[in-house]
Every structure is written in C-alpha cells, then in structure tokens.
Structure 1
C-alpha cells in the first residue's frame, strides 16, 4: 500500500460528523484558522447540533446547516465540502469514511479508525481503489514526553529493542465512565482493547518502528457489572441512583436526572459487554515482544512503560492522578499528565539505564494541556499553525498516522478480543487486511 499523503495542511470547507465532546476541540481549532471554516454538521441529535451551532456563534463564526446521516452524500455536494472530521460513535466511522473517500473528500477520523476487521478491510480497499488517504488522530504521538521516548529509542540509546512492557491504569472515575456509556457494548466501541488501548498499540508500533504479527491474551469483566459487583460488594441494592438515600453512600453513583439514557445505566448493572481487566502479548516483525496490561478499576491513573534493549533499558512513568476523592466523581475525564490545580495530580519520569552505568533521569517537558499537550500540537500539524505561531516540527509531525497505522493499531485490539474468546494465539494474516 502506498502510504504517501499530501503535505498540504488539512482544512478548507470542513464538515463535522458527530457532535460529542471530542468534536469541540476540532471545531475550535478549525474556526481559529483563517484558512478553514466549519460549513456543516452531520448529527441526528438536534439538541447536540444546536449546542454546537451555539459554540460556533460564541467563537464568532456563523451557524451552519445540520444534516442527518442519510443526507451525508448530499451534504458533501451541496456544501462543497473539502474535508470531513469524523467524531461519531466508533462503530459508525466506516459509514462516512468510505463515501467521503469515494467523493474525493479528505478524511480525518478520530481513533480508533473503526472497530472490526471487516470494516477495516472495506476502508483499506477503498483507499487502494481511490488513491485517497486518511488521517487518524492518534494524539498521543504528539505528546512531547512520548516524542522524547521515540527519539531516545531511535537514537539507539538502548540498542535494539528486545521487549516492551506496558501497564495502563484507569481509575474508578475515568475508568468507570466507559461502563456507563455506549462504550460498554463491544459492537459500538470494540471494547477497551480497541477504543482505548488502540492509543497504546499505535504508540508501541511507532516507538519501536515495528509491525505486530501475533497476538494472544486474556480478558475478563472482574470489577464492574452485575455479577462481579455482587461478588466484591460494591454493587448497591437499589433500582437506580435517582432520589435514593442509599445512592448518597455509593461512590459509583452519578446524578442522572438530566439524561434519560444515563438513567438506565449503572456500572454494576447487567448487560455490560466489555472487559475491565485485560492481559495481552504481541510479537512483532522485528522479533520484539510486548506484554500489555489494562486495569479499568484502579485507585490511581497513569501508565508505566519499560523498554528492554541490547545495551540498556528505558523506563517511562506517567502518574495522571495519585488517588481519587469521592468529590471527584462528577469529573469523569482523566487528568492527562496531571492538573496542577488538583492536590493529587501526578508527575512524569523518564529514566535511562545503560549496562554498567548509573541511571540517567532524562529531562522531561511536561505539558498539562489536553493529552499532555498532544491535542494542541496535533492541531498545529494537521491544520497548520495559528497566526503568529511556529509550525510544529516534532517527530509526530514527520510521521503522522494514516490508514495503515490505524489498521495496525486496530489489528492488535481485534486479535486480542478474538483471543479472549478462543484462547488461541492469533496471527494478523488471519484478518486478510490489504496493508
């Protein structure tokens, strides 16, 4: 597959598909750049669409037409769309990526690119047929700490990478949220292996410049859900949190009055179709191996990554929250490398251990903006710098993620999900992806 793509910044006349919380970052970034404008929303929820038109107006931009998903093709033509930004439910991405590519419209999609092998295959076949390419927004690549890791490995500081261990912890605020919303059904999100761990699988692919070949793993719903909740005692015996005195003593209860959908959801309810504890092994085409573990019910949030090389070892530790308080339960987002306004924010450390030498703590530039500064830097690369700003020239800007990267990150999650079911080692060749 030819993965070359235009160096021309994205932008022009932009339509946004899906108006969840993630879309706001793109809308603000597009409006702030004179060369781009939002010209349409594709969104079935009229309340969400109205909110985003209000956002446009607050940014000094005019409101725009709102189209239904069935009107997507006509929207592209009627609004003379140059580019689509896709931020809808993960499982629906392919329904917009494919016709946009066929129409010659540039495509930017949130990660994951899609949720299963069949949809991924359809997207890649369309790329090959049309010669168009996709930008997948793996914003973690643009985090300066992650770029430091990339550069340290690429410079040969630990020699040839032999193995990687990646442990990721979601706490009981951020992690619990994925068991309330649409993510809790694998057909919507691909589970946390696809929706969240895809971030990390892409990072490892990128960090060590390798392609996954074989995947195996174990996954279970060990903490959330009706059965597990009753076993460990966190589940409370009331129908719903609304108006309940018992709910006031439940650290997992949230105020659901404003949202009729959320009124039906609770992290210890039945019907959760994803795992909350996952262990995965991956072998790469370079001979390197990865062991990965995701815990979605931890007292603290962050991740540790260890790279073992032929002449040394590199360690990354990121603590996004050292602990959580009951008063934090209304804020479900991760702290993303710490928020200095909070007393329990964590820190970042990168340590280089070479054989027969003292360990070296590598100076780290910590950014407390969204995703460790990755969001802002990604917008700079994708849409061009803001007036008066310099263009971003870091490692991620030189190696932005395209459809091949999206497919390889997805493949690890898809194969892990299959291994959870079958207990077998899964080969990437079994997916028949036209990479």
Structure 2
C-alpha cells in the first residue's frame, strides 16, 4: 500500500486527491498527512477526510509521516519549492499543473529529478478526457497522415474566466498568467497529440476585460456596494466550500477568495494569440479568451491525408448536448464521423481516469497519457516563452529558456 502526503488544502487538493484517496482507494493507497500554510484549511480538509494527520511544517511531514509520494497542490509559484524538497527527501512527486511558472524554476525541478533518481508526474487531466483521447488515437493511427498545422480556439465563459482575476492567480508572480496556469493544459494536449516539441513562437496578449479602471468597484464582493450592477459579483456566503475553507480562514493569512476583478493589483492579461513552430515543422495557431458567452473549445488539424475537426462545450446553449462527433475529411471527398459520448465526472471524466492510473497503478498506458516532468516542462515553457514574447515583442526560441536539455 502506497503512502501519500498532501501539501496544499484548497479545492483541488480536497476534491481531486484527498477525498478520493480516503474514500475510493483505501485498499491501495493511504493519505498519511496534509500540510498548508493556513492551519484552518488544513484542519478542515482533515475533518472532511477522516482525520488525516495535520502538519504545520512541510519538512516534519516529510520525515515523520512515512509518505512515499508527495502530492503538490499549492499555488503555482511554490510548486518547485515542495517538488524539489520532496525529491531530495527520497519521495516521488505528483504535482498539479502547471509544473511551475517559469524556466528557472522548471530547470530546478528537472535537475532535482535527474540528481535524485526520483520521479515527477504532472496531472494533465485533459489527456484523459474521452474526446481528447479519441483524437489522440486517430492521429496516432495516421488517420490524417503527417500533421502540418493545428488551429485551437479555447473560450472561458465570464463565470470561469473572472474567477482567475479574483484569486491568487491574478498576479503574474503567483501564476505566470493564464498562458501558463490555464493554457498549459492546451499546450500539453497539442504536444501530446503531435508527439513533438515546440521550437519557436510569437505571441500577443492584452487586458481587455478585467483589471484597474474598468468600472466602479470595491475591495471584495462581500462588502461591495455595486453587487446589483456587476456581472461578475460572487457571493462567497452561498458557496459552502469557499465559506468554510476561505471566508472562515481569512483571519490566518488575510487571503480573500472573493477579491474584486477590477483592482490595481491585477497584472495578468485576459486575451491571447500565440503562434508556435514545432521541431517537426507543424505550425500551431492558438487563442484564449476569458469572457466568452459560452465555454468550450474548437480544434482543426490539417494533415497530409486529410483534416480532423472537433469541438466541445461546457456552458452555453450546447452544454447539455453530447460532444459533437469528431469529423474527419479525407482526400476522397468523404467525411467520417466518430462519436465520443460525454462521460460523467469532473473535467469530462478526465479526473477519475487520471486518478485510476495514478493510484491503482499498472503498466498499461498505450496512449502515453500519464505525463512526466519533461512533458510538464514543454507545456509550461510555451506559456513562459509566450509571456516573454509579449513583453519583448519578438520571437522566442522555447527550449533556449533552459540552460540544458532534459
């Protein structure tokens, strides 16, 4: 039976890891500790998961809990601190995406993994969504031949998009911006589908919706006088989890889960366009918006033998419908449809499938869905390089951000 310890006690830590470990995987896994900078959150998670031992110091948890694998679910800019410490203590690591937020921290993780001989796994749940996996299988089988170009458009609706601007993610120093924190999912999908690595990119980014001066505002939604006129108003008192884990824990660290999305502190952008050239010659055009009328994605993949088109919606008029069929157009003027029904569970069924592979084990992974540190590096470095391209107004060679090869 493998022993796991968890650093970070937020929503993802509770629902993705702690509850499943203590309720679904008891025969193969045991959660032996939780640590968080906010002791109230750690205690709440412990209460909700059968009284998991709580540690106030991460180093003590490493030495006293007996954990073999550390799960890292803290804010992104701290991932490298806990990943490297866990590796050096002789533990393997499972870390939330993105693996970290910039090239320097990425380099530290890659070097620690090589130095210690331990392993890092990155939780790219999008790889495990049935619709995404079906696309992977079709491409792997050569359904459209050699891939020449990909266009991906990802849209966040106003509810989801705004949430990144009221939490810790709204500072570049914490999250690396949405091209790292959010788009790492999407860049990893492209890398995985292609089985290739990014070479060079050029990016644009703007702040069109959120941030200082957009409209009258307060410090936070709870005390704001503009609640009836603001489309992004969020009532923390009606969210039981947020109330217990954040509102009632504010006295410990002052962190506001319902901070205003129009304040000066916000320095991340909300609208993006990125062009990437891959080592094998494939070209990617990618866009991300954060205030769309609906949430979902569309992709068009052009190959030497045909073209694949797919899309899926999570909110808006089409949200209740099954994902549209994957459409494959060949050179014989034929259109072939591949049905991929929606699966129940978080992230389109991706979370449960990922957990099964992480915690039940087994060596079968025909599509290469379980991601390691190098995959984590290649996805976050696209975002980090895009951030640099936006700042400097020039193309950036992606892997040159690292001092050495992985």
Provide the TM-score with structure 2 as the length reference: 0.90
* Residues 246 and 92 of structure 1, relative CA distance in 2, 3 Å threshold: closer
Residue in structure 2 matching 1:47, options 29, 40, 43:
40
Match of 1:21 in 2: 11
* Residues 256 and 362 of structure 1, relative CA distance in 2, 3 Å threshold: closer
- Pair 1:248-2:228 in alignment: yes
* Residues 76 and 305 of structure 1, relative CA distance in 2, 3 Å threshold: same
Supply the distance in 1 between the matched residues of 2:314 and 2:125 (Cα, whole angstroms): 17
* Residues 126 and 358 of structure 1, relative CA distance in 2, 3 Å threshold: same
Shift of 1:419: 0.3
**Paired residues, what number?**
388
Match of 2:31 in 1: 38
Shift of 1:240: 5.4
Provide the TM-score with structure 1 as the length reference: 0.85
Unaligned runs of 5+ in 2: 238-242
* Residues 188 and 240 of structure 1, relative CA distance in 2, 3 Å threshold: closer
Supply the distance in 1 between the matched residues of 2:269 and 2:322 (Cα, whole angstroms): 26
Supply the distance in 2 between the matched residues of 1:280 and 1:245 (Cα, whole angstroms): 38
Shift of 1:348: 3.4
Q: Deviations over 1:226-262 (max 9, x none)?
A: 23x2xxxxx2466654466642232211225653543
Spell out the pairing of 1:203-352 with structure 2 (5 A cutoff).
203-227=189-213, 229=214, 235-236=215-216, 241-242=221-222, 246-256=226-236, 259=247, 261-262=255-256, 265-322=259-316, 338=319, 340=320, 347-352=323-328
Contact 1:211 1:408 in 2 (8 A): yes
* Residues 241 and 18 of structure 1, relative CA distance in 2, 3 Å threshold: closer
Supply the distance in 2 between the matched residues of 1:30 and 1:64 (Cα, whole angstroms): 11
* Residues 155 and 180 of structure 1, relative CA distance in 2, 3 Å threshold: same
Spell out the pairing of 1:119-134 with structure 2 (5 A cutoff).
119-134=105-120
* Residues 245 and 122 of structure 1, relative CA distance in 2, 3 Å threshold: closer
Residue in structure 2 matching 1:56, options 49, 57, 70:
49
Shift of 1:308: 0.5
Q: Please report the RMSD computed on the Cα atoms of aligned residues, expressed in angstroms.
A: 2.1
- Pair 1:79-2:33 in alignment: no
Secondary structure class of the residue paired with 1:247: coil
Supply the distance in 2 between the matched residues of 1:22 and 1:83 (Cα, whole angstroms): 17
Contact 1:377 1:392 in 2 (8 A): no
Supply the distance in 1 between the matched residues of 2:378 and 2:158 (Cα, whole angstroms): 29
Shift of 1:266: 1.1
Supply the distance in 2 between the matched residues of 1:112 and 1:78 (Cα, whole angstroms): 28
Shift of 1:433: 4.3
